[in-house]
Amino acid sequence: MHTIHLQIEDNIYNELINKGVNVQDELKTALHKILYKKEYKIASEIKEAKDEVAVGKTRPIQNLLNEF
């Protein structure tokens, strides 16, 4: 497990606590959203590329191999 050190201004921290916000849970949720957003973006790019191949919207494979 890793530790993240976060500095929050006192007035903001006090407001969060006074409103009953669980800072640790909220940060965990935010980190999960960041991770899933990145995974979703990668999956979307793969799907888009696959769809382009399916409709013949790409260059012939031989042209791509010649570039190597």
pLDDT in tens, 19-61: 999 999 999 999 999 989 988 888 888 888 888 878 877 777 7
Could you say which DSSP state residue 58 is in?
A: S
Contact 52, 58 (CB under 8 A): yes
pLDDT tier for residue 18 given thresholds of 50, 70 and 90: very high
